[in-house]
Each structure stands twice: as structure tokens, then as C-alpha cells.
Amino acid sequence: MSSYQRVNSVMDVSGHIAGVDEVGRGPLAGPVIAAAVILDKSNPIEGLADSKVLSASRREVLAASIKERSLCWALGRAEVEEIDRLNILRASLLAMKRAVAALSLAPDMALVDGNQAPELMCPVRTIVRGDATVAAISAASILAKVARDAEMNALDRLFPGYGFSKHKGYPTPEHLDALAKSGVSAVHRRSFAPVRKHLGQVL
């Protein structure tokens, strides 16, 4: 029997609390990447916020601080093939579970952004907009965003012409136009409707 459980309050919880978030549910290409972070309460990091409201350069600076000053951090991911097989929600939860499992310290509780929780071997609380309100989740959001952006930049070099370094796989007009012209690459999510539309085209 799994020890997974939801909790409604983090009051009175001592020990290691992990913030967990993922990046990459919406894109048409690339993996979904999650991060888990246990911050050091004695060494707070100023400026943590939802990664979406920070500039790329600010995220890079904060990511370096998080890696240096947190008690531990880890990344998890689900690949394109897993996204297509499981669906994006289940793949995102799998990436979160992998991130938490990779932590060097076992958390006593996990705080997860959103309203869906992965099955973890510790109590878990979901917090809508947690990436903007909970420091540990903000830190996880930043690490996941920096890691995924770096991956999409690398994929842009492997699959030129799609503009991955600009739109990071999201369905922008530029990306949709590239799909229409060049077809579906090996890193596109075939289960997503805009990609399925072009599956009959020559790569």
C-alpha cells in the first residue's frame, strides 16, 4: 500500500519540505521537466518567484543560487514517447515523482504546484499558484524552467528550422508554420492535435 496521502495544512510539519513543480505541459515538442527543491531555512534566497514572471537572465542567476544554497535539489523528466503513451498529465506527475525520488534527502512533506499530486512516499499538499506564493515551489519552478529552456536550445541545434530556441516548443504561429512546412520531427508530441494534423507529411 502506498504511503501517498494528501494533507491540508503544513502547520506543525517539521523536517525537510520539498517544493515541486514542472515545466512543459503546453509545448508541442520536447520533454516535460520537473524539479524538486528542499530549501535551507537558515540560508534564505531573495527574489524567488514564479519562473514565468522572471527574465531568462534572472532565472539563471537564481538557479545558480538555488543549486548552491539549498539543502538539495533534483530534476525529473518524462520523454516525448512517455507523454504520447501516458498523456501529458500523467507524464507530468511521473516527472515530478522522479524529481522527488532523486533528492539526496528524503522529504517529510512535498508541496506541489497546481491541483494534481503525484504519488509520493511522503505526505503531499497541492497548492494552486504555489509557484508564486511558496518559496520552495518557486525555486523548483525556476530550476525546471532553466533546465527545459537549455534542452530546447540544444534541440534547436539538432532540429533547425522549427525555432525551438525562440518558442521552446509552444504552439506559436512561427512553430505552427514550421510544422506545416517541414512536418513532424522526432521530438514532437504526436498525441497533440496540432502535431497529429501534420503526421502525414514527409519529415
Q: Per-residue pLDDT tens for 65-104?
A: 999 999 999 999 999 999 999 999 999 999 999 999 999 9
Domain ranges of the chain: 5-151
Q: What is the pLDDT of residue 45?
A: 96
Phi, psi of 52 (to 5 degrees): -70, -20
> How far is the C-alpha of 120 from the C-alpha of 30, rounded, in Å?
25
pLDDT cut 90: percent of the chain above it: 89
Q: Residue 17 forms beta bridges with which residues? A: 109
Q: What is the pLDDT of residue 13?
A: 59
Taking domain 5-151, whether its CATH number is 3.30.420.10 is answered by yes
For residue 44, give the C-alpha cell: 534564505
For the chain, the 3-state helix, strand and coil shares in percent, each to the nearest 5, are 40, 15, 40
- The DSSP symbol for 53 reads G
Q: Per-residue pLDDT tens for 26-38?
A: 999 999 999 999 9
Threshold 0.85, pTM exceeds: yes
> How far is the C-alpha of 33 from the C-alpha of 77, rounded, in Å?
4
For residue 148, give the C-alpha cell: 527545459
DSSP H/E element including 137: helix 135-158
Confidence of residue 203 (pLDDT cuts 50, 70, 90): very low
pLDDT at 154 over 70: yes
Q: What is the pLDDT of residue 199?
A: 87
Sign of CA dihedral 38, 113, 129, 126: negative
Q: Per-residue pLDDT tens for 59-74?
A: 999 999 999 999 999 9
Provide the pairing of β-strand 72-78 with 32-38: antiparallel
Contact (CB, 8 A) for 97 and 107? no
Name the residue type at position 125. Answer: R
Q: Helix 135-158 crosses helix 56-69 at what angle (to 10 degrees)?
A: 120
Q: What is the pLDDT of residue 10?
A: 47
> How far is the C-alpha of 53 from the C-alpha of 147, rounded, in Å?
16
CB atoms closer than 10 angstroms to residue 163: 17
Q: Mean pLDDT over all residues of the chain?
A: 92
